Amino acid sequence: MIRLLKIEFKKLVAYKAFWVMLIIYLVLQAVMIFSIPGLIDWAADKSGNRTYFRLFKALVFNFPDIWQNIAYVAGGRIFIKVILGIIAIIIITNEYHFLTVRSNIINGLSRSEFLAGKLGLLFLLAFFSTVVLVLSGLYLGLMNSVSTTASDIFGKMSFIAGYLTELYTYLIFCLFLGILFKKTGLALIAQVIYMIIEPILKYKVLPDGFGPYLPINAMNNIVQSPNTSLIKLKSSGFNFDFQEVVSLADVGLCIGWAILFVLFSWILLKKRNL
């Protein structure tokens, strides 16, 4: 795998668009997370009730709930991660555009190794994004939490693992679209169209209860909602079922889709002319 990753990085070293888009993504991710305290302070100034908003701010960024909250914000509800999806699509479609996939195979790289290299690269991208999320959470948590014991800091870290699973599956989905359509524009259009179609399928076409099994929903269901003790207190008596832990069933469904997208990608690489 290290050999395959070295090959991938050699392709990307001189590709300025990749690095620019990656930096933009990381900056937007950090701004998105770090702007929330500022928005809460702004709302406090406008409302005139700073005590309530300070309490809410402390609870949102309090260990261990902060991990669930920032994983929810950085996940499927705010489409900052679409930038990483675009990167994943460009990485594979450029292989077809510049015929490097063909030259790699001719020079002795098997189709399975070619796919494995791309999967390894996408995992590194997802892992790097997750590290940025963890560092942001540590900073905000240490600034706002009353208790900073190890059990508090590392409680609910399963939501970070869930975020990594969600993001990696999404990138594999984008990789599959790139392999399927080969052209950057077509793959990006297909991605947008599917994100529009899936909610229609969920609410208008498919039977009730089937929607959560669709790919994007399966990814988003890993981290379903933010959570704080104040939210639970305000919602008491309304029978709201707030997510407390990451469901292994949701993770398994997401991983199942990832495996299917990898399998579909491998079949396309194997059967098609390059």
pLDDT greater at residue 33 or residue 152: 152
* Local confidence band at 181 (pLDDT 50, 70, 90 cut-offs): very high
**Could you identify the residue written with the tokens 């069933």?**
249
Task: Note the pLDDT tens digit of each residue in 72-121.
Answer: 888 765 567 888 899 999 999 999 988 888 888 888 889 999 999 999 99
**Could you identify the residue written with the tokens 């889709």?**
257
Of 75-79, 139-143, 188-192, which range is least confident?
A: 75-79
**Could you identify the residue written with the tokens 């290290």?**
2
Task: Note the pLDDT tens digit of each residue in 241-273.
Answer: 677 889 999 999 999 999 999 999 999 999 887
How many residues are present in the chain?
274
Contact present, 185 and 87 (Cβ < 8 Å): no
Question: Cβ–Cβ contacts within 10 Å for residue 77, how many?
Answer: 12
CA neighbor of 63 nearest in space, from 148, 167, 181: 148
Residue 104: the pLDDT is 85
**Stretch 58-64: mean pLDDT:** 79
Structure-block tokens of residue 273: 């002319």
**What is the signed CA dihedral for 258, 112, 267, 212, rounded to 10 degrees?**
0
Give the SS3 label for residue 98: coil
Residue 93: the pLDDT is 94
Q: Residue ranges of the alpha helices (H) in 145-243?
A: 150-154, 158-181, 184-200, 215-220, 229-234
Residue 126: the pLDDT is 95
In angstroms, the CA 158 to CA 134 distance is 12
- Ordered by start, the domain boundaries in the chain are 2-271
pLDDT greater at residue 60 or residue 54: 60
Averaged confidence pLDDT in the chain:
85
